[in-house]
Structures are given as C-alpha cells and as structure tokens.
Amino acid sequence: MLDIKFVRENPEIVKQNIRNKFQDHKLPLVDEVIALDEENRKAIGEANELRANRNKISSQIGKLMREGKKEEALQLKEQVTKDSNRLAELEEKEGEYAERIKQIMMTIPNIIDPSVPIGKDDSENVEIERFGEPAVPDFEVPYHTQIMESFDGIDLDAAGRVAGNGFYYLMGDIARLHSAVISYARDFMINKGFTYCVPPFMIRSSVVTGVMSFEEMDAMMYKIEGEDLYLIGTSEHSMIGKFIGQLLQEEELPKTLTSYSPCFRKEKGAHGIEERGVYRIHQFEKQEMIVVCRPEESWDWYNKMWAYTVELFRSMDIPVRTLECCSGDLADLKVKSCDVEAWSPRQKKYFEVGSCSNLGDAQARRLGIRVQGENGKYFAHTLNNTVCAPPRMLIAFLENNLQADGSVRIPEVLRPYMGGKEALIPTHKA
C-alpha cells in the first residue's frame, strides 16, 4: 500500500505505474482518492478547530456564570451545542472518508522497480540466467504420475473418492522422497542462518488483507465458514503476519525465517494436461523463506534469496533458470519478482517451481510493521521466496533423475534422508 502523501504529491507517477501494469480501469481511483483525501483533511481541520473552540468556550461559560452573566453564558451554551452537532457530523464524515480512502489505497498497485520489464502477462517474462545443462535422455520420459505409479507411489483415484479432484495420496518411497526433500530444504535454510518456524496454518482476515491483494485473496484463499479465519495459501502469510502491529528494534534486523507448512489453494479455472497429476492442486506442502529488513538491505536479500533456491535445486542435479517477471505478471503489492523454473526433460521446457519477491514496505504499511531506528520510526521491507514446494518439485526431481531402466537416482545430498538409498527401484514398468 502506498503512502497517501506520495499519491497526493505524485499522481502522474502513480497513474503511469497503473498503465505499466495494464490496469487502466484503476486510473480514476487516483483522482478519486486525492479528492477524498482533500475533503478528509478539511473535515479534520474543521473538527480540530471546533474542539479547540469548545474547550475555550467552556472555560468562558464558567467565568460568565461566576460573574452572574447568565444570559451571555446561555448564548455560548447554544453555540457549544451547535458546534457539538457539527463536530458529530464531521467525525462521521471522517470515518466514511477514511474507510473509502483505505479501500482505494489497498487497490492501487505498489510502484514497481524501474528494472521490471513492461509486459501484459507471464508470456512476456524475461529469462535472466540458466544454471545447469538442460538434457533430454535417449529414452522416453513418462508423465510424472506414471513414474510415481511404477513405484506404487501415488493413488489419485482414492483421493478423488475421499476429497475430489486436486488431491492425492503419496505412498511408499514417493511419500518418503517427498518428506526427504522437505527435510533437506529445512536443513539447507537453517545452514544459511535462517530460523526454522512451523507457523499457524490459519490466519485472520486482518492478516490476509495485509499480505496480499483482494484479487489474490479471492482467487486463492479458503474461508472457514462462520469464523474470521482463512487457510493459508503459503506460510509466507502467517510468517509475515507474525510481526503485525509490532515496533521492531533496528538492531534486531534482519528477521530471517524459514518455515514448513501445508498450503491450501482454490486454483480456480480449467487446466491442461501438463497441469494435471500433482502439478496444480488444492493441497501441497512447502518450505518457504521470508525476510523482514531495513529498506537499504532489501535488494541484497532479494538476490541472496532466489540464489538459495537455485543452489538447492542444483544440489539435486536439476537444471533451472530464472525469469524476470514483467509488470503485468506482478501482484499489486510486489515491487519486483523473479520465478525459478526447473527443466522438464519430458516436456523439453522449463516450468515454475518457485518465486522470489520484494514487496518493499507495502505489507509493512498494511500490517503496521515499523522499525525504531536512530533517526526515528519507519516501515520495514518484507521479502519472500519459495525454497521448494513438493509435490510439484517432485516432478522435476523424478524426470531429471530417471534412469533408462525406470529407476530413479538419489543425489548424494538426499541419501541421508532416504536411509542411505542410492536409487529407487520400480515395482513395475511405467
């Protein structure tokens, strides 16, 4: 969320930013919120004058009564009553103005970084760098659920009977591999100096609206009927929410947390064959990282964070690339974001396995996360990044480590989490 003062003083910058994000329907909101802000400030000014006059007149009334000037005192009492009625009107208006201003300010997108490429949607994202050589084996790579089925490692039919589409049972070695990847990712981030956290898996609406845009909220979140609670779509939400309303001491920054959680998402819309199986699902598990830091440190952390994900995937022999997200692909709170994509030997292309974002002070403004520094108070900067998100990450793992005989090689870094196994042996052919 932007500072209303910034919008008031830089309306054309805010409007151009809206155009850059291809959200022209929001352009009228800029003029509307500036006009509302002006009316609100007038109302506040008049209300403050009336309060000051009321105190002044009240002391005059007492003096006049003591002097026996009852008629003059009654006239002033009438003025106090009139002013009180006007003050009540103004206070009601202030509340209405403030609520509408807040609604608009939470809809106007954050100012994107100048380095962000301008584009309408994810088809215009820009490749930055590749890590590892993308290879296509000389044997056919089956669809990921077929690979899992060769190990008796997945049961989608039973999940459909129990919960419907978008759910799964992982079984045996595949389930163990899923847990091994999560455990390895946890220890990987702990070794980077992050504090491990298991957060709440439900959050209040005040946190939801603080960490994401209304559009994201509608598309993603499951509401708990009859309660002010939502299932988290990612643990970033509850980890950033941990600091809601807090005044952090500058010397305690940065706050670096890595968390495990299940994640729940509506995943609206129909999806093609490449997004079936366990690619786009309603429930999955994830290892996440967040940073709360000083503004001048946020870009250093941004570059560190996506690099950690690249390093993790490369340690498991999975080729990846990074993509710069274009303006139209950025959620409204984000200043800059890059996706990490893993190589799919079967599809002969990359697919998204994680995303790293710098949100500037947008979440901190919404949630009231401030920092006490030597020169006063200011809003913190927040960042988040996916470490890894099985089971989608398993697709990349299985395809890139699949052998011609149907076995799956276990990279050395995962073997301690797999009981020392060097390979998974299929029970039948994929």
Q: Which domains does the chain have, with CATH numbers?
A: 4-105 (1.10.287.40), 122-424 (3.30.930.10)
Q: Compute the distance between CA of residue 184 and CA of residue 196 in angstroms, rounded to an integer.
A: 13
Q: Does the pLDDT at position 209 exceed 70?
A: yes
Structure tokens at 414: 């995962």
Q: Compute the distance between CA of residue 115 and CA of residue 36 in angstroms, rounded to an integer.
A: 32
Residue type, 393: M
Enumerate residues 6+ apart whose C-beta is below 8 A from 10. none
Structure tokens at 137: 């084996």
- Please report, rounded to a whole number, the percentage of residues in the chain having pLDDT higher than 90: 77
Buried b (16+ CB within 10 A) or exposed e, 72-86: ebeebeeebeebeee
Q: Compute the distance between CA of residue 288 and CA of residue 387 in angstroms, rounded to an integer.
A: 5
In this prediction the pTM is: 0.88
Query: Residue 273 has what pLDDT?
Result: 46
Residue 165 bridge partners (DSSP): none
Q: pLDDT by residue (tens digit) across 148-202?
A: 999 999 999 999 999 988 899 999 999 999 999 999 999 999 999 999 999 999 9
Q: pLDDT by residue (tens digit) across 358-409?
A: 999 999 999 999 999 999 999 999 999 999 998 889 999 999 999 999 999 9
Query: Residue 378 has what pLDDT?
Result: 97
Q: Compute the distance between CA of residue 171 and CA of residue 96 in angstroms, rounded to an integer.
A: 55
- Report yes or no: 203 and 228 within 8 Å, Cβ to Cβ: no
Which of 163, 207, 228 shows the shortest CA–CA distance to 382? 207
- Please report, rounded to a whole number, the percentage of residues in the chain having pLDDT higher than 70: 92
Which of 373, 430, 376 shows the shortest CA–CA distance to 407? 430
Residue with tokens 């940073």: 291
Q: Compute the distance between CA of residue 263 and CA of residue 314 in angstroms, rounded to an integer.
A: 25
